[in-house]
Amino acid sequence: MQRRTFLIKQRVLITGGAGFIGSFLTDALIEKGYNVSIFDNLEKQVHHGKKPPYINKKATLVRGDVRSYDSLKRAVLDADIVFHLAARVGVGQANYQIKDYVDTNIGGMANLLDIIVNEKTKVKKIIMTSSMTSYGEGMYSCSKHGKQKIRMRPDSQMITKQWELLCPTCKEILTPIPTPESAELQDNGIYSIGKHVQEQLLLFIGKMYRIPVVSLRLFNVYGPRQSLSNPYTGVAAIFISRLKNNRQPIVFEDGGQTRDFVSVHDVVNALLLAMENADADYSVFNIGSGKPTSVKTIATTLAKLLKKDITPSITNDGRKGDIRHCFADASKAEKILGWKPHVSFEEGMKEVVSWSEKEDARDIFERAAGELSEKKLMYE
């Protein structure tokens, strides 16, 4: 394996470094001796106007928005390595705040690349976090017709509440199998389009200007520091917030839909390996645990760990744009980056629950759910 050892004291810029992934990455880089600058707008929906207390004191925090060329430029001028993590993350919300998501997620990357190629910068590597959502549905297998990359479930199927994917030829229920990077991408919403386009922009400009770039396609990341008062965030944090407020987690479909939950610590490790390893350059990698867990299991596991006698409410209604199953084939990351997940689902969920006990959690889920209904983004 070819390693590029960056000289310690190199300056690393992390856009979105105040978020839960970025802040753990900051800690890890500082621990390794890097100088870290964080560029973050302290998004109101996530941080509620406050600087999070966990931000590493040794990092320089610059408050700014990736949509602003000038303020991002000031931060980039100083950087040797850039991790571009700044993004808006509500998968459902993205489908009705289209311009905002496009401006931040695609426009932010466009600004970053414009700055790097047009200004006097010294950036030697750019690493971004893209998303498994760009696959749409994951890979499936039919006992008679073999492996398939299937289209999203059509409206006509969703309204009959037939949640599982069916083989187009024989109508047998398909079995989900691991999804590799080579699987066809099939965007399932504005958020997924944003991550996909960002990845394309990065790879194209990286190759054209010979600036090493890497994109990590993250599966469902969870861990401490994820906002518990942001109803547009990932399902695990939403369920913790509901349970802490003694309310039932609301489970869409029948709860049998699965996701690949990967601990933030494993993700940070992958980001460091992607930075250090020149064999990773110009490539994309799946970063997931490789294990599917159902959404209903998330709800019941969290209730148990939080010692709440609360069962989830299964709505039997679908959210538009949701996929049913996708879990990672992360063998490329193992082979090239030497990456493997180390935190088991049980350990990781225990960690996040124990962290959450001391945290405030404002449950405003009903507002987010109401918006989806109002915009007709639910099959109900």
Nearer to ligand UD1 by Cβ, of 39 and 327: the residue is: 327
Pick the stretch among 4-12, 58-66, 85-93, 110-118 that binds ligand UD1 (CB under 6 A).
Answer: 85-93
Q: What values do phi and psi take at 7, rounded to 5?
A: -60, 130
Give the C-alpha separation, 172 to 86, whole Å: 41
Nearer to ligand UD1 by Cβ, of 234 and 348: the residue is: 234
Nearer to ligand UD1 by Cβ, of 20 and 39: the residue is: 20
Q: Which of 158, 190, 197, 235 binds ligand UD1 (CB under 6 A)?
A: 235
Distance of CA 333 to the CA centre of its chain: 17
Residue 59 interacts with ligand UD1 (CB under 6 A): yes or no: no
Pick the stretch among 57-65, 95-103, 125-133, 338-346 that binds ligand UD1 (CB under 6 A).
Answer: 125-133
**DSSP summary character for residue 337:** I
Handedness of CA 13, 9, 23, 132 (dihedral sign): positive
- Which residue, among 265, 237, 364, has the nearest Cα to 31 in the 3D structure? 265
For residue 363, give both structure tokens.
């449950």
CB of 2 to ligand UD1, least distance (A): 29
Q: Which of 112, 152, 205, 250 binds ligand UD1 (CB under 6 A)?
A: 250
Q: Which of 84, 196, 319, 325 binds ligand UD1 (CB under 6 A)?
A: 319
Give the C-alpha separation, 194 to 98, whole Å: 10
CB of 218 to ligand UD1, least distance (A): 6
What is the Cα Rg of the chain in Å? 20
Q: Which of 89, 185, 284, 337 binds ligand UD1 (CB under 6 A)?
A: 89
Say whether 65 sits in a helix, a strand or coil.
Answer: coil
CB of 194 to ligand UD1, least distance (A): 10
CB of 130 to ligand UD1, least distance (A): 8
Q: What values do phi and psi take at 6, rounded to 5?
A: -75, 140
Pick the stretch among 44-52, 106-114, 128-136, 137-145 that binds ligand UD1 (CB under 6 A).
Answer: 128-136
Distance of CA 227 to the CA centre of its chain: 13
Residue 295 interacts with ligand UD1 (CB under 6 A): yes or no: yes
Site for ligand UD1 in 201-220 (CB under 6 A): 218-220
Buried b (16+ CB within 10 A) or exposed e, 177-194: bbbebebebbbbbbbbbb
Q: Which of 12, 238, 274, 337 binds ligand UD1 (CB under 6 A)?
A: 238
Q: Which of 91, 193, 273, 353 binds ligand UD1 (CB under 6 A)?
A: 91
Nearer to ligand UD1 by Cβ, of 35 and 41: the residue is: 41
Residue 90 interacts with ligand UD1 (CB under 6 A): yes or no: yes
Give the C-alpha separation, 366 to 371, whole Å: 9
Residue 325 interacts with ligand UD1 (CB under 6 A): yes or no: no
Residue 158 interacts with ligand UD1 (CB under 6 A): yes or no: no
* DSSP alpha helix (H) spans, the chain: 20-31, 44-47, 69-76, 98-101, 107-118, 155-158, 190-209, 235-244, 264-276, 295-305, 331-332, 345-356, 365-374
Report the interface residues with ligand UD1, using CB under 6 A: 89-91, 131-133, 218-220, 233-235, 238, 250-252, 257, 259, 295, 319, 322
